Structure 1
Amino acid sequence: MRVATVDGLVTLFYDGSKEPFNPDLDQEWTNAYYNNFENKDNWEEWNLSDECKRYWKERQSWQQIIIEDGETDIPKQTFQRCKNIQRVVMANTIVRIGEHAFDGCKCLAFIKWSINLEVIENGAFMVCDLISVFIPPRCREIRMAAFRDNYKLTLFHVPQNVQLGPFLLSSTKLMRDSHFELDECGNCNNHTDEENNWIKNINTDEKYSLHRACSSYQPLQEIIDAIIRQQGLRSFAIKNEMGITPSRYLKENPYADIQEMDIIRDYILKMMGEGE
């Protein structure tokens, strides 16, 4: 592991040579946290060992994590409660993200996923600051509560064949704005199958064909062009049941190089006979 400044962010390059998470030091900090709850923001004043203070200070310094090529797993709790991490960039060799690997990363707003990601384990991204999530097409399982308590999470796109665990999106904006009845904790009780089916099928209605194209993992302009030539530019104004328009997906998808105005310009040129 090494640390450097990249794009103005203190960046940890994770190569698996050393595990950032130390369970003994983490337990020491956790015990002190509950013993000093009324003074929880001033952890440097707690009765902690010097080693624990160095450990915690280092974890709070990281603002960006780059997972280097060759790593296949991010072990459980690796970056748990590293509250200042804003961005995570994964090499395409990552296939599994362990339990609570990024739980409590309250500033985490951007993730570049591994295209080969297969499994996201329990609570992996609880209590982060994600607004949009576009899961890669090879992912086959997302386990319990993996994205719960991302209060701003509005867009969530997953492959049709992915297996979803319960309470996946509890206490997110997406679920709060849904038709489901939620308990006081934001959970959709007794609706697991119905809830997960809804999550996977928000944009499957035929009238949402442009939504599906724009919300795919890597939207293709030729597919989008074909749809708007058939449906016209009005298709950009059609909102799905969550009140989201197709262009919103393009703006929020970190993998979309397509710009709505480029599509409109291309469409108009074709209508005028000046396009290809």
Structure 2
Amino acid sequence: MTNFDIITIVVLLIFTTISFFKGGIGSILSLAKWYGAGVLSVMFYPEAKQVTEEALGSSIISSGVAIFGLYIVALIVLWLITKVILLALSAVVGGVTDRFAGLIIGFTIGLIIISSAHYTIRATNNNNDPDWLQEGKTFELTKFGADNLGKVFSGDFSKMIDDFGFKTSEKIKNEISKDELSEAKNVTDGLSDPAEKDLNIEKVRKALEELKAEGLSKEKAKEALQKMINDEPNKFRSFDEEIKVDYEPLPE
């Protein structure tokens, strides 16, 4: 028996045991609670960001407080809701059928986790299973899971997941990007008249410095300003002209 076999057995036992005592209904509600909290955090992030920004000012700190605060609040609310649901279903929770469903769900969760590890090992080994992995007693089981994960994460199915849009990190990244552009717009609005395309380079440098003071890195500030110039070409010369002509880089 290999070390990977031992890890596989331990993971399967842990998740199967936990889900057995939770039951099928409890296990499903638990998954829904954690995932739902993430989805709600992303959905209400823009509104929460406005509130924390007014209170804290700093863009980076307010973003962190907004997303983590939202997640904790959503988790507590969903925890209370799941408690109510479990009480309402108390007649069936903990029964033989519910416990059996919990076993299946727990085993499935454990298998997904350990198969993900198998899939990762394979991916880092030129998509081949190393010899030490193939020698394991649980190899066929985790290989089955890894093969199916490979199908899930490839082709149209993967695209469908991407299009569905519940990728929390990407959602947050997009919202932060919107905040940066909003700050850029606040700084750059009114810097030049629509008819005045020869925007003074010192004004551009001033805009970058103000963006940097708001907590954006120099590169993020330049990206935000470039986006503003691209969006409103009638107000500015080309980005190269605005940034590179007699431009003295900002201090790091």
- TM-score, length-scaled by structure 1: 0.25
Choose between structure 1 and 2 for higher RCO, CA contacts under 8 A separated by at least 6 residues. 2
Q: Which has the higher helix share?
A: 2
- TM-score, length-scaled by structure 2: 0.27
